[in-house]
C-alpha cells in the first residue's frame, strides 16, 4: 500500500510587526518568505525536510514572482495556499495564493531545482531523489 | 534649461552575512531588497526621495519577479543595474540585472504604482505627480 | 468585577529557513524578533494591540539584550517565554527565555517606553494609558 | 616588520527602506545587523574574512545588547563605530556607537567566541587561531 502524495498545503499565520514597512503594509519581499514557509510546511506534512542536516541535495530557487492585489497589515491573519503546479525530473513549480479575510491579497509562483554540491563547492542540477519525488504530485485543482 | 532625466542606476554593494542562508547563498527574497536599494538610489540621484516625511503619495509594488542564474555568496561584491523599462501616467516598471565579477547572477523586474492614501486609510491609484514623473524617462539601452 | 491582568506568555513557533544563517544556526538578530512576537501575542491575549491603526501612543524600545547559550537550527520547535519583569508609569521591562527541547537556548530582556508623537514628528515619553497599564502586572514567578 | 593590528572601524551606510518599521523608525533588531556589518568590515580591513569558504572555526555570538537613544529613519546616513573592547584566548568583545548627524543614536556591545565544529555537528569553544588573534588589539580610546 502506498502513502498518499501531497500536492497542496494551506499555512495560516499572522503578520508580524517586523514584516511591515513604514508605509504600514507588509514589505513586498516578505511574501516570498511566506511562500517558502508554506513550502517547508508542505514538505513536513509529506514526512520530509527540505534541508535535513545530512542533505546530499539542496533546492535552490531559479524563478520567483508575485503579483500584489491588496495590502497586508500588522496582525492580519493570512492564509498561504501553496500548490504543486508542475514537476519535472529535476524541478518543481509551486503556485501560491495569499488571502486575508477570504479575499485574495497576492498570487505568486516559485520554481525550485534539485542541486547536488560538487567537490569544488559549486551546485549542479540533479534528478530529484525518488524518496522525495514520490511524495508529491501535481495538484488537480485550480485556484 | 531643463535638468536631465534619469533612466538608469548601478548600485555597488557587498553581500552581508545576514543575507546568506544556511545553503551558503543569498536568500532569494533578498534580491528584491537589492533591487529596491538601487531604486531608491536612482531616486536620490534624481533629487527625490521615494518616501519623504511629508509624502502625499506612496509607491506600492504591484508585481515583482526574479530569475536566478548564479548564486551570490558572503562578501561578494555585486552590481545592481536598474533601468526604467516602462512608464505610464500611474506606474513605473523597472528591469534589473545583478552581476558578480562581471557575470550575470540574476535578472528581475518590479512594477510600482502611484497611490494616494484615502481618508479611510485605503490606498487609491493616482497620477504620478509631475515633479516626480518629469525626473525619469524610459531607458533606451537594452541589457 | 475586574479582568485578570497578564504577566506572562509562552509562544510556540518553528524556526524558519530564512532565519538561519550560513553557519546553520539562527542569526543572533532574530532572537529579538522572536521576543517581539511573544510580546505582541501577550498584548493580544490581554485584549490589546501594540500598534492599532489609530494609535495615539507607540512603544519604542530603549534597551535590548540577549545571551546565547545553545544554537537554534532550521525547523527547531522553540518556546519563547516572556514575562513582565518591571513596570513604571512610562515603561515596561520584559524578561525572556527561549527553550528548545526543554533546554534553555537564550535569555534576554527588552525595555519599552510609552511615547507620544509630537506635532513636529518627534517622539516624547508619556504615561502608559490606563486602558493599557491596567491589563498587565509584574510576574511573580522567576525563571 | 609586523603589520599594524586593528582595533577600530567606522562604517558609513544609509538606512534602507526595508529596515524601517511601521512606526517610521529602524526596527530595533536591525542595529545588531549594523554592528555585524561593521565587524565584518573591520575583519576585511585587517585582511581577514570572518567566514571564508574553507573555515575551520566560526565565531558565534554569546551576548549582544543595545541601548537606543534616538530613532533612525529612512535614508539617514549613519556611522557605525566599532571598537575591540576586550580580547581573551577564545573571545572578543566589541563596543559600538551608532551616530546620525554627529549625534549618538545607539550604543551596543557584542561578544563572540571562537568555535570549532565537532564531528557530531556541535560547536566547541576553541582558541582563536594566531593568524586571526594577531591582527587585532584592544582599542585604547574611549568613546
The pLDDT value recorded for residue D14 is 98
Q: Are C95 and C85 in contact (CB under 8 A)?
A: yes
CA dihedral C96, C100, C105, C107 (to 10 degrees): 10
The count of structural domains within chain D is 1
CA distance A34 to B21: 16
The answer to whether residue D143 scores a pLDDT higher than 80 is no
Gap from C97 CA to chain D (nearest CA, Å): 14
Residue B75 lies in domain? 8-133
C9, C41 Cβ separation under 8 angstroms: yes
C 84-123 → D contacts, CB under 8 A: 110, 123
For the cut 60, the answer to whether the pLDDT of residue A3 exceeds it is: yes
Contact C43, C100 (CB under 8 A): no
Confidence at residue D122, expressed as pLDDT on a 0 to 100 scale: 79
Asked whether the beta carbons of B57 and B115 are under 8 A apart, the reply is: yes
Q: What is the pLDDT along chain B (143 residues), one digit of tens a residue?
A: 567 899 999 999 999 999 999 889 999 999 999 999 999 999 999 999 999 988 889 999 999 999 999 999 999 999 999 999 999 999 999 999 999 999 999 999 999 999 998 887 778 999 999 999 999 999 987 65
CB atoms within 10 A of CB D3: 9
Q: Which residue has the higher pLDDT, A85 or D121?
A: A85
Q: Report the range out of A5-9, C119-123, D115-119 with the highest average pLDDT.
A: A5-9
CB A99, CB A85: distance < 8 Å: no
The three cell numbers of residue C78 are 522553540
A92 in a structural domain = yes
The CA-based angle B99-B105-B109, given to 5 degrees, is 90
In angstroms, the CA A71 to CA C58 distance is 22
- C positions 13-42 inside 8 Å of A (CB): 16-18, 33, 36-37, 40
Q: What is the pLDDT of residue B119?
A: 81
Q: Is residue C49 part of a domain?
A: yes
Domain assignment present for residue B141? The answer is no
Per-residue pLDDT tens for D55-91? 889 999 999 999 999 999 999 999 999 999 999 999 9
Residue B82 lies in a domain: yes
Contact between residue C69 and residue C104 where contact means Cβ atoms under 8 Å apart: yes
SS (H, E, C) C121-142: CCEEECCCCHHHHCCECCCCCC
Helix (H) or strand (E) holding D35: helix D30-45
Q: Does residue B36 sit within a domain?
A: yes
Residue B136 CA: distances (Å) to CA of B7, B54, B141, C98: 6, 21, 14, 49
* Nearest C-alpha in D relative to C50: D23
Q: What is the pLDDT of residue D118?
A: 84
Would D142 be classed as within a structural domain?
no
Task: Tell me whether residue C138 is in a domain.
Answer: no
Q: Which residues pair with B91 in a beta bridge?
A: B113
Higher pLDDT, C34 or D123: C34
Is C22–B22 a contact, with Cβ atoms under 8 angstroms apart?
yes
Q: Is A3 helix (H, G, I), strand (E, B) or coil?
A: coil
Task: Give residue C1's pLDDT.
Answer: 54
The answer to whether residue C141 is domain-embedded is no
Residue B121 sits in a domain of what CATH number?
Answer: 3.10.129.10
Nearest to B39 by CA among D74, A63, A18: D74
Backbone angles phi, psi at A94, to 5 degrees: -105, 145
Residue B142 makes CB contacts below 8 A (sequence gap 6+) with: none
Could you tell me which chain B residue has the CA closest to the CA of D18?
A: B33
Taking the model in full, what pTM does it have?
0.96
Active-site residue, C21 included: yes
C-alpha grid cell, residue C59: 512603544
Task: Give the start-end residues of each E strand in chain D.
Answer: 8-14, 57-58, 61-68, 77-87, 91-100, 103-113, 115-117, 123-125
D75/B55 Cα distance (integer angstroms): 14
Here the ipTM equals: 0.95
Amino acid at each position: 500500500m502506498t502513502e498518499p502524495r501531497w500536492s497542496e498545503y494551506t499555512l495560516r499565520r499572522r503578520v508580524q510587526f517586523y514584516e511591515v514597512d513604514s508605509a504600514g503594509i507588509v514589505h513586498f519581499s516578505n511574501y516570498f518568505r511566506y511562500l517558502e514557509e508554506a513550502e517547508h510546511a508542505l514538505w513536513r506534512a509529506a514526512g520530509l525536510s527540505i534541508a535535513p542536516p545530512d542533505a546530499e541535495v539542496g533546492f535552490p530557487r531559479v524563478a520567483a514572482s508575485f503579483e500584489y492585489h491588496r495590502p497586508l497589515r500588522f496582525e492580519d491573519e493570512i492564509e498561504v495556499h501553496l500548490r504543486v503546479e508542475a514537476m519535472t525530473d529535476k524541478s518543481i513549480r509551486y503556485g501560491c495564493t495569499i488571502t486575508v479575510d477570504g479575499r485574495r491579497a497576492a498570487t505568486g509562483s516559485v520554481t525550485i531545482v534539485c542541486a547536488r554540491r560538487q567537490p569544488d563547492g559549486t551546485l549542479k542540477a540533479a534528478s530529484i531523489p525518488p524518496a522525495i519525488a514520490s511524495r508529491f504530485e501535481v495538484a488537480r485543482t485550480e485556484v
